[in-house]
Structure 1
Amino acid sequence: MRFTSQLIALGMACLLAIWLSLALGPVSLPMMDTLRAVLHLVGVPVAEDNLQQAELIVGQIRLPRTLLGLAVGAVLALSGVAMQGLFRNPLADPGLVGVSSGAALGAAVAIVAGASFGGLPEPFQPYLLSICAFAGGLGVTAIVYRLGRRDGRTSVSTMLLAGVAMTALAGSVIGLFTYLADDASLRTLTFWNLGTLNGASYDRLWPLLLVCVAVILWLPRRAKALNALLLGESEAHHLGIDVQRLKRELILCIALGVGAAVAAAGLIGFIGLIVPHLVRLLTGPDHRVVLPASALAGATLLLFADIFARLVMAPAELPIGIVTVFIGAPFFLFLLVRGRS
């Protein structure tokens, strides 16, 4: 009963974040006009008096941005839960397997050397940056996974070390591309590396949204297996869990989810670290509750961070990655100090 009330509270907070995200920005809309515009967009008959501007802003600009924020926040938080369950460490982050750095490398290639991809078919041209970032994240994760395999088993500690090494290598290559970039490419690369939900559109949103939704729907189905893994690999095996298969599935989910999120919104840090930890403090370690609660909390936190990024320097916009780091870094330090005491 307590868990149900907590999920309902998180759901209400998420709905409030959605409503505010649709209403607030450089041009703020009355809350009721925003609600009427959304209802009209989904086909509910409402009075259309003075609704044209609100419907245009909500339907064409803020609704795709809000949907992107929901998907990215939820999938980053879920990936954080999966990573912490895989490593059995509450301070683990989805970037540990190199997927974020690989996606950043792919984006750097697309931004700086994009002219070299002029031979791509026309339907793929608008998705060049997202495709390269997604492929880079999957590629680096595949290398890390391969380095962590030995005798048919996956060594989590070896994967961690390989992830650190690949992250450093990807960072050095990104530095090289940054050095070679012209002024326009450098500005794009810098802004992308700081993370943003700006520029979301339905055409560019739906492929990445499908990947995020698939991860969001699939991961909770492995909640019981993650609970067993908390006891240790041998104990989970004795309980009938195929541990090696579970590791493969979790790594694939993390790579797909984080790769899609980074491809869509750039590098947004600390959501996958602080949200699962906060949720566990509230609900306990049971993944049957932690996973859906983390999805709701991650989506809510990212939407509120995006609202702050829009308003704090309006009409200019602060990159959302800066906001999440301002929130996440002090919290991470708090966890370290709390752990030492």
Structure 2
Amino acid sequence: MSADPEVRAGAVDLLLPTARGRVVAEGSVTTPRSDRSTATRTVLFLLAALALAGSVTAAVRIGTADVGWTDLVRVLGTHLGLDVEPLPPLVDSLVWDLRLPRVLMAALVGASLAVCGTVLQAVTRNALADPYLLGVSSGASTGAVAVIVLGVGASALGVTGGALAGALLSFGLLLALLRRTGLDSVRIVLTGVVVGQLFTALTSLVLMASADADTTRAVTHWLLGSMAPARWNTVAVCAIVTPLGLLAAWLCSNALDGLAFGTDTAASLGIGVRRTRMLLLVVTATLTAVAVATVGAIGFVGLIVPHGVRFLVGPLHRVLLPYAALAGAVFLVWTDALARIAFAPREVPVGVITALLGVPLFLLVLRKRGEL
């Protein structure tokens, strides 16, 4: 899959505001080449969507216990109310209650992290920006550790609720610190790093002061990220939040194109820079908070996927964001499948696998871009 010459050459080299206030590339509306490019992108997007559907279906079958295609159809048919012979309860529970929610969660979280990384790289104009830049994951870790180790609010919140509360607390602190200093990209990055380090220190302090060896091991496993806790209730939450966040980001595609060129350029194009940045920060923080609260901190997805997809389809965010979502979903679905079987019957945290795969892939992308 390769981008057409118009996009690969940098179709956003000259951005113009139209009469409706949108930002488009000059000449990208009326040329026949644009029509062909749109048709090509549509076909590629449909193929990518089919690849995601195939990946989800195949990943449900992968694990220490084999599940055949017939078994999978029977389980789905049973729960959809079709007239099929049900499987034994143990096999049915394995597929319906464990594997299917886990795979769907991997797809939703992968899409969220990839889109968050794409948005933050444009907002901050920082190629190393990822979903954890705002310190949200560190706050979520502190909240989860407080519940696991100290039992703070354990009966009412649980680990997921504690993590979400910690994530929102850290983001609130970030906004409070940025309230007077503004929302320029440098301050966002520096303040996010400071907030993240603060909550990382609090997490370490709680572990060192109160946790025993078994609790520390459990917390460490959670901090590395795992799809094992995924259940239908958490999948339902992500299935609501993720599409809404992706839609909000996609509706800001033209603003993201302008922000990628800097504050002055964006303002000259009629973009409300502060308002747009605030909206995008809230969207990315919410997506990241929900993802981290449900499955822990999974690194590299939001860093390498945007760069890889940008290299393939170009920099225009109205094209880049949907492809990044699909690529992130497929990447995390297969990464989680590998985490389940690589050292079976022992399960490896998926964050470990994403890091091991992410480093060489990121270096390869940098080499292809001529930056290494």
Q: TM-score over 0.5 for the alignment?
A: yes
Residues 100 and 267, structure 1, Cα contact 8 Å, conserved in 2 = yes
* Alpha-carbon displacement from aligned partner over 1:253-301 (angstroms, at most 9, x marks no partner): 1110001000000110010011111111111011111111111111111
Map 1:44-59 → 2, pairs under 5 A: 44-45=82-83, 47-48=84-85, 54-59=91-96
Residues 149 and 155, structure 1, Cα contact 8 Å, conserved in 2 = no
Distance in 2 (CA, whole Å) between partners of 1:111 and 1:51 is: 35
Q: With structure 2 as the length reference, what TM-score do the two structures score?
A: 0.83
Residues 145 and 203, structure 2, Cα contact 8 Å, conserved in 1 = yes
Q: Say whether 1:18 aligns with 2:56.
A: yes
Q: Quick one: which of 228, 231, 241 aligns to 1:201?
A: 231
* Alpha-carbon displacement from aligned partner over 1:99-152 (angstroms, at most 9, x marks no partner): 1111111111111111x436x5xxx3xx4211221121222222223323436x
Distance in 2 (CA, whole Å) between partners of 1:162 and 1:50 is: 54
Distance in 1 (CA, whole Å) between partners of 2:365 and 2:58 is: 30
Residues 124 and 188, structure 2, Cα contact 8 Å, conserved in 1 = no
Q: Say whether 1:230 aligns with 2:260.
A: yes
Tell me by how many angstroms 1:49 deviates.
Answer: 6.9
Residues 100 and 137, structure 1, Cα contact 8 Å, conserved in 2 = yes
Tell me by how many angstroms 1:51 deviates.
Answer: 6.9
Residues 98 and 140, structure 1, Cα contact 8 Å, conserved in 2 = yes
| 3-state DSSP of counterpart to 1:97 | coil
Structure 1 stretches of 5 or more lacking a match? none
Residue matched to 2:104: 67
Residue matched to 2:26: none
Distance in 1 (CA, whole Å) between partners of 2:148 and 2:327 is: 32
Distance in 2 (CA, whole Å) between partners of 1:288 and 1:228 is: 12
Structure with greater proportional helix content: 1
Tell me by how many angstroms 1:328 deviates.
Answer: 1.2
Residue matched to 1:86: 123
Tell me by how many angstroms 1:304 deviates.
Answer: 0.1
| 3-state DSSP of counterpart to 2:159 | helix
Residue matched to 1:304: 334
Structure with greater Cα Rg: 2
Residue matched to 1:157: 186
Amino acid at match of 2:135: G
* Alpha-carbon displacement from aligned partner over 1:281-330 (angstroms, at most 9, x marks no partner): 11101111111111111111111001001111122211101000001122
Distance in 2 (CA, whole Å) between partners of 1:336 and 1:166 is: 29
Tell me by how many angstroms 1:339 deviates.
Answer: 5.4
* Alpha-carbon displacement from aligned partner over 1:25-53 (angstroms, at most 9, x marks no partner): 111111233134224423344x4275765
Count of matched residue pairs? 332
Residue matched to 1:117: 153
Distance in 1 (CA, whole Å) between partners of 2:45 and 2:218 is: 39
Q: Which moves more between the two structures, 289-298 or 4-13?
A: 4-13
Q: With structure 1 as the length reference, what TM-score do the two structures score?
A: 0.90
Amino acid at match of 2:70: M
Residues 85 and 229, structure 1, Cα contact 8 Å, conserved in 2 = yes
Residue matched to 2:196: 167
Residue matched to 1:42: 80
* Alpha-carbon displacement from aligned partner over 1:189-215 (angstroms, at most 9, x marks no partner): 011011100032223443344323321
Residues 19 and 35, structure 1, Cα contact 8 Å, conserved in 2 = no
Residue matched to 2:167: 137
Residues 193 and 266, structure 1, Cα contact 8 Å, conserved in 2 = yes
Amino acid at match of 1:72: V
Task: State percent identity of aligned pairs.
Answer: 35
Distance in 1 (CA, whole Å) between partners of 2:164 and 2:335 is: 24
Q: Say whether 1:30 aligns with 2:60.
A: no
Residue matched to 2:217: 187
Distance in 2 (CA, whole Å) between partners of 1:330 and 1:225 is: 32
Residues 38 and 55, structure 1, Cα contact 8 Å, conserved in 2 = no
Tell me by how many angstroms 1:75 deviates.
Answer: 0.7
Tell me by how many angstroms 1:172 deviates.
Answer: 1.7
Residue matched to 2:41: 3
Residue matched to 2:287: 257
1:177–1:303 distance in 2 versus 1, CA, 3 Å = same
1:142–1:226 distance in 2 versus 1, CA, 3 Å = same
Q: Quick one: which of 177, 185, 206 aligns to 1:177?
A: 206
| 3-state DSSP of counterpart to 1:43 | coil
Tell me by how many angstroms 1:225 deviates.
Answer: 1.6
| 3-state DSSP of counterpart to 1:129 | helix
Residue matched to 1:332: 362
Distance in 1 (CA, whole Å) between partners of 2:42 and 2:187 is: 39
